[in-house]
Amino acid sequence: MKARVTVMLKAGVLDVQGEAVRHALGSLGFAGVNGVRQGKVIELDLTETDAARARADVTAMCDKLLANVVIESYQIEIL
């Protein structure tokens, strides 16, 4: 089964890259973009076939490596 992990900077942590993208959109004439947050998507191809166990495994992977929980939050989708 597959899993998709979305890692984002936590709310309240200034996202300087997102801010730069927001400015660039503004200078391209896209008015009304109040905020941009940039994150990353990590897709995993797993041998596990049980969704609950897969979610537990991926949670451990996020806590250990895929996200830095000091500054980032993550969401897991089991597909």
Partner 1 sequence: MKAAVITFPGSNCDRDLAVAFEHAGFDVARVWHKDTDLPAGVDVVGVPGGFSFGDYLRCGAIAAQSPIAGAVRAHAAKGGYVLGICNGFQVITEMGLLPGALMRNAGLKFICKSVDLVVASAASPFTSAYAAGQTISLPIAHHDGNYTIDADGLARLHGEDRIALRYRSNPNGSMGDIAGVLSENRRVLGMMPHPERAVDARVGGTDGAGVFASILGEMALV
Q: Which positions touch partner 1 (CB under 8 A)?
A: 13-14, 16-17, 20, 64-66, 68, 70-71
Neighbouring CB atoms inside 10 A of 34's CB total: 5
d(CA 62, CA 17): 22
Closest by CA position to 22, among listed 10, 41, 35: 35
Minimum separation from the CB atom of position 43 to partner 1 (A): 14
Minimum separation from the CB atom of position 50 to partner 1 (A): 26
Nearer to partner 1, 51 or 75 (CB): 75
Nearer to partner 1, 20 or 51 (CB): 20
